[in-house]
Amino acid sequence: MSKKATSTIEKKDAAPIGSSFAQAQINADLTKGERIDLYRKMLRIRRFEERSLRAYQGKKIGGFLHLYIGQEAVAVGCCSLMGKNDHVITAYRDHGHAIAVGMDTKALMAELYGKVTGCSKGKGGSMHYFAPSLNYWGGHGIVGGQIPLGTGLAYALKYRGLKGASMAFMGDGAVNQGAVHEAYNLAALWDLPVIFVVENNGYSMGTSQDRSSAGPGLAQRAEAYGMNWGTCFGHDIYEVRATMDKFLKLARDESKPSVVEIDTYRYRGHSVADPDKTYRTRDEIEEYRRTKDPIQVFQQKLIAEGVLTDVFVEQIDTEAKAEADLAADFAEASPFPTTDDIQKDVYWESDHPDRRTSKGRLFFD
């Protein structure tokens, strides 16, 4: 899966871990505290998800649970670059992005438990985290379905004359959906400030990229639409930030869309209910864990930079675990929605009967 890092903006050779991305201005400008915050966020995502897995195994959570473990540098790196008018939308593997944009883990855990205190009032679950006030637009279960919506966010920015960008995340399986190509076409045709971020973790459920996608690379498909594109090594948060910074500027300053493919890896099965034994080897997973784990990679860099110490690493970890436990306690103690809540927040008109204009029945009896 390792590809040559390249881009239409600036050609460069594949860069090994520990390369010059730390010196890119966007990273060089980071204060010590900001570096620690990036590290802490990645660890908070991991500990939150490990805790949610235990809750799932303890039958506290039902339905789907798609874990992001292994991919943390992508969401944290990208979302750390967000300005006031930048927006994010993603698929069902959405916990990492939610924590990265600053959502409260108590409301996130409660959502997994199906409790009324959840961010979607317990009616969305793992795949439907939303926080419009943080420019976070979900959380979508239809593969590729969020991509036209993310393009619409960019359209709205341009229409309103706002200087911002939409980051529309998808997996390597989503790139073959027709709606993705319709979105690419309109984004390029209308010069919309959107970045299509392909989180390439190598697999769509149990199907490897080689078995599902034609062509030399997923990002290069942008050329067919005259869009810029780039690739990057998603295990190094400095590289994610340095790469995405360029494409975000292109979107914000010149209203140009692009496709960025970020190599990453998930350690867990597609969802926790899926068997993970047939399509990849244990050795492959172990190799990633041992050599490319994004948290370990960043931890080593920060220790080398003198930003982190072993004691501090331990303290951050203890705090992240305590936060996850607190979120689970909160979720456990929260009530479930009532039967009456089922029809709330579904149709605006049924929540505002005095302002209703349509006729007919909104719900089945």
Point out which residues bind Mg ion (CB under 5 A).
Answer: 171-172, 201, 204
Structural element, H or E, at residue 262: strand 258-263
**Alpha-carbon span 171 to 218, nearest angstrom:** 10
> Binding of ligand TPP at residue 143 (CB under 6 A)?
yes
| For ligand TPP, the closer CB: 171 or 257 | 171
Residue nearest ligand TPP (C-beta atom): 171
Instruction: Tell me the window of 185-193, 200-208, 240-248, 288-296 that interacts with ligand TPP (CB under 6 A).
Output: 200-208
Enumerate residues 6+ apart whose C-beta is below 8 A from 363.
Answer: 343, 346, 350
| For ligand TPP, the closer CB: 141 or 148 | 141
In the complex, least distance from residue 51 CB atom to Mg ion, rounded to whole angstroms? 24
Structural element, H or E, at residue 198: strand 194-200
| For Mg ion, the closer CB: 164 or 171 | 171
From residue 160 to residue 199, what is the string marking binding to ligand TPP with x (rule CB under 6 A)? ----------xxxxx-------------------------
Q: Which of residues 82-101 bind ligand TPP (CB under 6 A)?
A: 93
Enumerate residues 6+ apart whose C-beta is below 8 A from 20.
Answer: none
**Alpha-carbon span 295 to 289, nearest angstrom:** 10
| For ligand TPP, the closer CB: 190 or 279 | 279
Among 15, 30, 36, 141, binds ligand TPP (CB under 6 A): 141
In the complex, least distance from residue 274 CB atom to Mg ion, rounded to whole angstroms? 13
Enumerate residues 6+ apart whose C-beta is below 8 A from 283.
Answer: none
| For Mg ion, the closer CB: 26 or 75 | 75
Structural element, H or E, at residue 98: helix 95-101
> Binding of ligand TPP at residue 205 (CB under 6 A)?
yes
In the complex, least distance from residue 173 CB atom to Mg ion, rounded to whole angstroms? 5
CB atoms within 10 A of CB 261: 27
| For Mg ion, the closer CB: 52 or 71 | 71
Planar angle of CA 218, 220, 226, nearest 5 degrees = 135
Question: Residues 106, 117: contact at Cβ < 8 Å?
Answer: yes
In the complex, least distance from residue 15 CB atom to ligand TPP, rounded to whole angstroms? 24
- 147: burial class by Cβ within 10 Å (0-12, 13-18, 19+)? buried
Question: Residues 193, 165: contact at Cβ < 8 Å?
Answer: yes
> Binding of ligand TPP at residue 273 (CB under 6 A)?
no
Instruction: Tell me the window of 3-11, 17-25, 137-145, 181-189 that interacts with ligand TPP (CB under 6 A).
Output: 137-145
**Alpha-carbon span 343 to 359, nearest angstrom:** 17
Contact positions vs ligand TPP (CB under 6 A): 93, 141-143, 170-174, 201, 203-205, 270
